[in-house]
C-alpha cells in the first residue's frame, strides 16, 4: 500500500529525515517509535504533504501512485489520513460543516454522489456512538474549547467518518488519560480492517498495549535503526532507547563525538 524509499527531508534548512525506507502492506499495522527529535512527526507531516517540510530526495508510492507529487487535499482524497498531534481549532466552522465538506469532496473525487443530509446525520450518529461521543459535538466549532483528550478523540472520529485507506496517528496517545486512551484505541481497532493500513507514531509503548502492531520500527536521528515484531516495543519500554543506540552504534555519532 505504502512504499517509502530512501526519503530525506528538511525543516527550516535542517535535515531531519536521513534516508527512510519503509514498506507497509494492506491489512498491516506498523508502529514507528523513537525518542523526541528523532523525526517521527516529520515523517507523518511529509507523508501528508505539509509544505513546511522540504523533501530533498527519495520516493513515496501510495497504492501505485507517486504520493509526493500530490497536494495535501489530493492525498486525503486518495485515502491518506493524519490524526494530528496538535489538532487545529477553527472557530465559527462547525464540525458538521467541516466534515460534510471534507466527506463530499472525497466522495466527489471517487465519483460517488454527495450524501443527503439524512445519510450524513445517520453516519455521524453511528460513528459518534462507537467513540461514545456526545452528538452535540457536531454543532460545536471544530476543536474550539475542546480539552486535549477531546481533540484527540475528535481526530479519531474524523478518521472513522472519512474512512481512509491509510491512517497515520501522530502521537495520538500524548495527553490522554487511561480512559480516553482506551476509547481512542478502540476507535482505531474498529477502523483497522484487511483492506486498510495504520501507521502509529509514538514515543511510548503504552498505546501499543491497546493497538497491537504487526511491526515496530525504531527511528533515531532520522533513520530507522531497528525493526521487529511487537515484542520490540516491549523491549524498548524495558530497556529504553539507549539500549538500541548502543547496540547499533551509529558511525556518524561516533565521528561527531570524536570531533568534540
Partner 1 sequence: MVNSKEFYIENFKTFVEKLNGQSKLFLHEIRKDALKQLAEMDFPTNRNEEWKYTNVSPILKQNFVPAVNTSAPDFSKEEINKFLFNDFDYHLLVFVNGIFSEELSEIGALPKGVVVGSLNKTAKDNPQLITAYFNKISKTDNAFNALNTLYAFDGLAAIVPDGKVLEKPIQVLYLNTSRDDLVLSQPRNLIVAGKNSQLSIIANYRGYGEKKYFTNIITEVFVDERAIVDLCKIQNESDKSYHIEKVQAHQKEKSVFNHYNITFGGAIVRNDINSRLDDQNIETHYYGLYLAGGKQHVDNHTFIDHAKPNCMSNELYKGILDDNSRGVFNGKIIVHQDAQKTNAYQQNKTILLSKTAAIDTKPQLEIFADDVKCSHGATVGHLDETSEFYISSRGVPQELAKSMLIRAFANDVIETIKIEPLKEQINHMIFEHLHRVEIVNSEESR
**Coil, helix or strand at residue 23:** strand
Is 87 a binding residue for partner 1 by CB under 8 A? The answer is yes
Is 204 a binding residue for partner 1 by CB under 8 A? The answer is no
Cβ-contact 30, 196 below 8 angstroms: no
Region of 37 please: left (phi>0), alpha (psi -120 to 50) or beta.
left
Site string for partner 1, 67-86 (x = CB under 8 A): ----xxx-xxx---xx-x--
Q: How many residues bind partner 1 (CB under 8 A)?
A: 42
Q: Of the two residues 68 and 93, which places its CB atom closer to partner 1 in the complex?
A: 93
Is 109 a binding residue for partner 1 by CB under 8 A? The answer is yes
Site string for partner 1, 8-47 (x = CB under 8 A): ----------------------------------------
Among residues 105, 209, 235, 248, which is the contact residue for partner 1, using CB under 8 A? 105
Is 98 a binding residue for partner 1 by CB under 8 A? The answer is yes
Count H helices and E strands in the chain, helices first: 9, 12
- Closest separation in Å from C-beta 123 to partner 1: 11
Return all residues near 94 (Cβ < 8 A) that are at least 6 apart.
Answer: 138, 139, 140, 141, 142
DSSP E strands: which ranges in the chain? 2-11, 14-24, 29-33, 53-62, 65-66, 80-83, 90-94, 141-142, 166-170, 197-202, 215-220, 223-228
Return all residues near 250 (Cβ < 8 A) that are at least 6 apart.
Answer: 220, 221, 225
* Per-residue CA distances from 29 to 35, 211, 216 (Å): 20, 8, 9
Q: Select from 59-67, 99-107, 217-225, 235-243 the region that touches partner 1 (CB under 8 A).
A: 99-107
Is 102 a binding residue for partner 1 by CB under 8 A? The answer is yes
Q: Of the two residues 109 and 210, which places its CB atom closer to partner 1 in the complex?
A: 109
**Which of 41, 4, 67 has its CA nearest to residue 169?**
41
Is 111 a binding residue for partner 1 by CB under 8 A? The answer is no
Among residues 11, 55, 68, 90, which is the contact residue for partner 1, using CB under 8 A? 90
Q: Select from 15-23, 50-58, 174-182, 201-209 the region that touches partner 1 (CB under 8 A).
A: 50-58
Q: Of the two residues 87 and 222, which places its CB atom closer to partner 1 in the complex?
A: 87
Q: Which of residues 123-182 bind partner 1 (CB under 8 A)?
A: 124, 138-139, 141, 158, 162
Q: Of the two residues 3 and 50, which places its CB atom closer to partner 1 in the complex?
A: 50
* Per-residue CA distances from 201 to 42, 91, 123, 207 (Å): 10, 28, 28, 10
Residues engaged in binding partner 1 (CB under 8 A) = 48-52, 71-73, 75-77, 81-82, 84, 87-88, 90-103, 105-106, 109, 117, 120-121, 124, 138-139, 141, 158, 162
Amino acid at each position: 500500500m505504502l512504499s517509502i524509499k530512501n526519503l530525506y527531508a528538511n525543516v527550516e534548512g535542517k535535515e531531519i529525515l536521513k534516508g527512510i525506507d519503509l514498506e507497509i502492506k494492506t491489512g498491516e499495522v506498523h508502529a514507528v517509535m523513537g525518542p523526541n527529535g528523532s523525526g517521527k512527526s516529520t515523517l507523518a507531516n511529509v507523508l501528508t504533504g505539509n509544505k513546511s517540510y522540504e523533501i530533498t530526495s527519495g520516493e513515496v508510492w501510495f497504492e501505485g501512485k507517486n504520493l509526493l507529487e500530490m497536494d495535501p487535499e489530493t492525498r486525503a482524497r486518495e485515502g491518506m489520513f493524519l490524526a494530528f498531534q496538535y489538532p487545529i481549532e477553527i472557530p465559527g466552522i462547525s464540525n458538521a460543516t467541516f466534515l460534510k465538506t471534507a466527506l463530499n469532496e472525497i466522495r466527489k473525487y471517487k465519483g460517488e454522489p454527495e450524501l443527503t443530509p439524512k445519510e450524513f446525520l445517520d453516519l455521524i450518529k453511528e460513528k459518534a456512538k462507537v467513540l461514545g461521543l456526545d452528538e452535540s459535538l457536531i454543532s460545536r466549532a471544530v476543536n474550539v474549547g475542546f480539552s486535549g483528550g477531546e481533540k484527540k478523540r475528535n481526530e479519531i472520529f474524523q478518521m472513522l467518518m472519512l474512512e481512509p485507506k491509510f491512517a497515520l496517528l501522530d502521537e495520538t496517545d500524548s495527553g490522554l488519560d487511561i480512559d480516553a486512551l482506551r476509547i481512542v484505541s478502540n476507535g482505531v481497532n474498529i477502523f483497522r480492517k484487511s483492506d486498510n493500513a495504520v501507521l502509529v507514531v509514538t514515543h511510548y509503548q503504552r498505546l501499543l498495549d491497546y493497538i497491537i502492531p504487526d511491526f515496530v520500527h525504531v527511528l533515531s536521528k532520522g533513520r530507522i535503526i531497528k525493526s521487529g515484531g511487537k515484542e520490540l516495543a516491549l523491549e524498548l519500554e524495558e530497556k529504553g532507547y539507549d539500549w538500541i543506540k548502543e547496540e547499533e552504534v551509529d558511525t556518524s555519532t561516533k565521528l561527531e563525538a570524536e570531533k568534540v
